[in-house]
Amino acid sequence: MSALFSPLTLRSVTLPNRIVVSPMCQYSAERGEATAWHMIHLGHLALSGAGLLCIEATAVEPDGRITPGDLGLWDDVTEAALVPVLAAIRKHSDIPVAMQLAHAGRKASSHAPWDGGQLIAVSEGGWLPHAPSALPHKAGEESPLALDYPGLNRIRDAFGAATRRAARLGIDAIEIHCAHGYLLHEFLSPIANQRGDEYGGSLDNRMRFPLEIFDIVRAAFPADKPVGVRVSAVDWVDGGLTIDATIAFAQELKKRGCDWIDASSGGVSPLQKIPLEPGYQAPFAKEIRQATGLPTIAVGLISDPEHANRLIEDGDADLVAMARAMLYDPRWPWHAAAQLGASVKAPPQYWRSQPREQKALFGDISFGQR
């Protein structure tokens, strides 16, 4: 059996293979509510044959959206909007569905990428972002509001409430977004966090709030379902977060019952210098896995099935998450299975698409026609 297509069990959730559809922001919600776009987008990815489908970064409060079009889960209306989307997925696919819970921090109130992605000023209909410290993400931008203790309590409550809503929706797993320069990563990084209280300064202090959020989410989600964390393993900026600091954070998460670390990087500063190449972040997943024993997810320009399989086979990671490659080829798991001599689940409506030379691609199936 190909390592990439071997099963993996996380608490009560068994994934049929090691391919994850990465959470990908669509900037297509209305007031935080899922729309017909989400039905189409998530619906067709649910038929991809991947082992896990993760819903995009979902804001726990309106001010935590990256853009006005971000998906949210903060009230009964945003919760109800996801019900038909998930019902359609469940009717036609048994793929496990995760959700990434997030708060954008100082990167909130931004235009969608296709509209430039820059900060929307309050005078232009935006809102003032919140952050660990009153430091703008980019020179020349208005400074965010430094979170005070009532603000920290508000965000704690928001993560807990969103987690309970996700549980009611039947979500199978939660990933907490502590990466890409958003709020929880901002607390971890000395570039964005220059607080003088117990939430800033030393690494132990900078980890404090993200760890509190993990504890809240873990306590609010069913004990038999997994909770993982996406991290930016390094900031790619001098004086920023290092892999050693991230490993220390992962070790603390492990003590609290974390089920995986999704090892990404960067995002906290426009000064970052990232050496892009296929699998450029995979070494972080390997280092975290070796140091902590936690399951890890490798991400970052991984698009070749042999490469993905080798990462699992060599023990560099336990899962491989696909983003842009999955958008470009939503049947990537089918093609990977065909190349690696494995099989994937497919809806019966598609069984006749199986190539003649790969008769076992969809497993032991049979169908007739009059």
Provide the annotated active-site residues.
Answer: 182
Q: How does strand 97-102 pair with strand 173-178?
A: parallel
**In angstroms, rounded to a whole number, what is the distance separating the alpha carbons of residues 128 and 120?**
9
- Distance, in Å, from the CA atom of 234 to the CA atom of 254, rounded to the nearest integer, reads 19
Helix (H) or strand (E) holding 83: helix 76-92
Q: In sequence order, what are the residues at sequence separation of 6 or more whose Cβ sits closer than 8 angstroms to the Cβ of residue 120?
A: 68, 109, 110, 111, 126, 127
Task: Name, in order, each residue with C-beta under 8 angstroms of 305's C-beta and a sequence gap of 6 or more.
Answer: 4, 335, 336, 339, 340
Query: In the block, which residue shows the tokens 């300064």?
Result: 201
Helix axes 203-220 and 149-168, enclosed angle (nearest 10)? 30
Q: Rounded to an integer, what distance in angstroms lies between the CA atom of residue 267 and that of residue 57?
A: 15
Looking up tokens 């920290």 gives: 152
